């Protein structure tokens, strides 16, 4: 009997195949081939970075680490997967496809890529998604990554099926447990590296299998938005902890951030609590028909209100936002689409594919669309004490509106970011992240 996840996946394939078959027909193609990709060696080296399959492949096949596989769509035929299972004693061969999902496809297990080369011949008008350097002369006579098709497929991915929503929810469950383990490690006085290892152990996933490089930042490192290191040494004094880390479920991502501090640092703890309230309010506003640009503006007003209430800046929230002062403390976008890619596709185009550039004042905003049911987005406002930005603020006309003694006292704490993954529905938003934490805390 099919499992519930098998049924969800089968419906996902059925629904998406029907849409894609119509789409490739409208664009004049008979067949679409999607390559999973292959590892690429570093320059002058025989080692490759960790491999992850192309997201366009993963949205169809729940194998995010499957190398040199090919997915084939032809109108009126069951989608076919050419699954590459090399005979190789240097590396562990991949497990064969599990029946709970493979039954929805026509699966052909092959020992190497040459077994599917014939797919590129005698298929009529052919569209191919993949890298030219991986496929070489196979794509001669085919349309490689045709822009119109890619754009329409990206748009299709903005609305998540029940299968995709379930994968993202399960990824949040995994990540929530790992975040709690990381918080416990911080409370025990662990280093960044030790916290990271505790996170991986609790998630049951290796760093190479997580959807992105985890940010594990103690103290002032929390002011580096994409802090990329994990120090092995324990700081002399633990003051704050910011972790931005996710998890993978069948190729779909969770992307969660939490910020912690030691109880004795009351002022910074008050800021965290204020940002938590602001973030939850923004999550509640992730409603169908809402412009994400407008929601980003609301986030700036919310962060500005925290700055005003803490008496860090002596300006009204409206004045802080209109003058740009809030951007010195909150310099990134509110969030983005999430799915088979952490920063998922089509965030800055409208339904017709027309570009929707971010506002000039907020160039780093990754999502500029009006929200629709089925979208899954991150909501991640931040408040940071970043020296290079504060130096610019100190040199601005608004320097005398800042309590620099208080700001300087906050510098060792780095910053605050709180991030949830939220499903937009016909009604109230569904916060996958808060639901996951609630289940863990029962």
Report whether 418 contacts 434 (CB < 8 A): no
Backbone angles phi, psi at 122, to 5 degrees: 60, 40
- Which pLDDT value is given to residue 405? 98
- Which pLDDT value is given to residue 2? 60
Cα angle value 334/257/266 (rounded, 5°):
100
Cα–Cα distance measured from residue 152 to residue 146, given in angstroms and rounded to the nearest whole number: 10
pLDDT band of 14, cuts 50, 70, 90: very high
Report whether 356 contacts 368 (CB < 8 A): yes
Of 308, 439, 322, 294, which Cα lies nearest the Cα of 383? 308
Are domains 4-157 and 162-441 of this chain identical in fold?
Answer: no
4-157: what fold?
Creatine Amidinohydrolase; Chain A, domain 1 (3.40.350)
pLDDT band of 124, cuts 50, 70, 90: confident
Backbone angles phi, psi at 430, to 5 degrees: -110, 115
3-state secondary structure 326-345: HHHHCCCCCCCECCCCCCCC
* pTM > 0.95: yes or no: yes
Cα–Cα distance measured from residue 55 to residue 36, given in angstroms and rounded to the nearest whole number: 8
Helix (H) / strand (E) containing 380: none
Q: What is the mean pLDDT of residues 136-158?
A: 96
Measure the CA dihedral 385/276/300/376, to 10°: 120
pLDDT above 60: residue 65: yes
Cα–Cα distance measured from residue 275 to residue 23, given in angstroms and rounded to the nearest whole number: 44
Cα–Cα distance measured from residue 99 to residue 39, given in angstroms and rounded to the nearest whole number: 27
Helix (H, G, I), strand (E, B) or coil at 356: coil
Report whether 28 contacts 63 (CB < 8 A): no
pLDDT above 80: residue 355: yes
Cα–Cα distance measured from residue 275 to residue 181, given in angstroms and rounded to the nearest whole number: 22
- Which pLDDT value is given to residue 122? 73
- Which pLDDT value is given to residue 408? 98
pLDDT band of 352, cuts 50, 70, 90: confident
Cα–Cα distance measured from residue 366 to residue 226, given in angstroms and rounded to the nearest whole number: 15
Cα–Cα distance measured from residue 318 to residue 427, given in angstroms and rounded to the nearest whole number: 29
Over residues 257-314, the pLDDT tens digits come to: 999 999 899 999 999 999 999 999 999 999 999 999 999 999 999 999 999 999 999 9
Cα angle value 319/322/327 (rounded, 5°):
100
Of 259, 275, 265, 277, which Cα lies nearest the Cα of 222? 259
Q: What is the mean pLDDT of residues 351-367?
A: 94
Cβ atoms within 10 Å, residue 405? 7
Over residues 161-208, the pLDDT tens digits come to: 999 999 999 999 999 999 999 999 999 999 999 999 999 999 999 999
162-441: what fold?
Creatine Amidinohydrolase (3.90.230)
Sequence ranges of the domains in the chain: 4-157, 162-441
Q: What is the DSSP string of 384-426?
A: E--HHHHHHHHTSTTGGGB-HHHHHHHGGG-EEE-BEEEE--S
- Which pLDDT value is given to residue 93? 87
- Which pLDDT value is given to residue 255? 98
Report whether 32 contacts 20 (CB < 8 A): yes
Calculate the alpha carbon distances from 310 to 313, 389, 406 in Å.
8, 19, 9
Of 72, 60, 54, which Cα lies nearest the Cα of 16? 60
Who's near 420: CB < 8 A, 6+ residues apart? 256, 279, 283, 378, 379, 380, 431, 432, 433, 434
Cα–Cα distance measured from residue 434 to residue 399, given in angstroms and rounded to the nearest whole number: 38
Over residues 400-411, the pLDDT tens digits come to: 999 999 999 999
Instruction: State the chain's mean pLDDT as an integer.
Output: 96
Q: What is the mean pLDDT of residues 375-386?
A: 98
Cα–Cα distance measured from residue 251 to residue 17, given in angstroms and rounded to the nearest whole number: 19
Of 125, 134, 127, which Cα lies nearest the Cα of 152? 127
Cα–Cα distance measured from residue 235 to residue 192, given in angstroms and rounded to the nearest whole number: 9
Report whether 338 contacts 317 (CB < 8 A): no
Cα–Cα distance measured from residue 344 to residue 135, given in angstroms and rounded to the nearest whole number: 25
- Residue ranges of alpha helices (H) inside 285-355 are 292-309, 317-323, 326-329
Token pair of 435 as six digits: 């639901």
- Which pLDDT value is given to residue 1? 44
């Amino acid at each position: 009997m099919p499992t519930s996840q098998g049924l969800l996946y089968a419906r996902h394939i059925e629904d998406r195949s029907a849409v894609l078959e119509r789409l490739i027909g409208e664009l004049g193609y008979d067949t679409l081939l999607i390559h999973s990709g292959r590892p690429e060696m570093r320059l002058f080296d025989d080692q490759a970075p960790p491999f992850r399959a192309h997201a366009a492949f993963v949205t169809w096949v729940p194998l995010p680490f499957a190398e040199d596989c090919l997915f084939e769509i032809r109108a009126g035929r069951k989608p076919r997967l050419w699954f590459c299972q090399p005979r190789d004693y240097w590396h562990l061969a991949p497990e064969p496809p599990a029946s709970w999902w493979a039954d929805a496809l026509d699966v052909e297990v092959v020992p190497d890529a040459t077994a599917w080369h014939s797919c590129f011949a005698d298929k009529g008008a052919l569209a191919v998604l993949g890298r030219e350097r991986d496929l070489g002369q196979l794509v001669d006579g085919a349309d490689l990554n045709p822009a119109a098709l890619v754009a329409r497929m990206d748009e299709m991915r903005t609305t998540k099926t029940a299968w995709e929503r379930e994968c993202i929810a399960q990824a949040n469950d995994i990540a929530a447990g790992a975040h709690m383990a990381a918080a416990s490690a911080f409370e025990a006085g662990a280093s960044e590296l030790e916290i990271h290892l505790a996170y991986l152990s609790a998630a049951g996933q290796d760093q190479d299998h997580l959807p992105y490089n985890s940010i594990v930042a103690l103290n002032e490192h929390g002011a580096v938005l994409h802090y990329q290191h994990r120090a092995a040494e324990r700081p002399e004094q633990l003051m704050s902890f910011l972790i931005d880390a996710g998890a993978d479920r069948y190729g779909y991502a969770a992307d969660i951030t939490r910020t912690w501090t030691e109880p004795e640092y009351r002022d910074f703890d008050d800021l965290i609590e204020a940002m938590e309230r602001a973030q939850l309010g923004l999550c509640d506003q992730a409603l169908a028909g809402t412009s994400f640009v407008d929601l980003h503006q609301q986030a700036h007003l919310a962060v500005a209100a925290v700055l005003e209430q803490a008496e860090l800046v002596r300006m009204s929230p409206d004045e802080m936002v209109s003058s740009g002062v809030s951007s010195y403390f909150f310099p990134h976008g509110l969030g983005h689409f999430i799915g088979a890619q952490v920063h998922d596709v089509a965030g800055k185009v409208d339904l017709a594919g027309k570009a929707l550039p971010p506002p000039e004042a907020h160039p780093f905003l990754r999502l500029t669309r009006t929200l629709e049911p089925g979208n899954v987005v991150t909501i991640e406002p931040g408040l940071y004490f970043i020296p290079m930005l504060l130096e610019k603020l100190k040199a601005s006309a608004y320097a005398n509106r800042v309590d620099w003694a208080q700001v300087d006292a906050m510098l060792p704490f780095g910053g605050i970011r709180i991030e949830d993954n939220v499903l937009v529905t016909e009604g109230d938003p569904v916060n996958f992240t808060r639901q996951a934490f609630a289940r863990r805390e029962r």
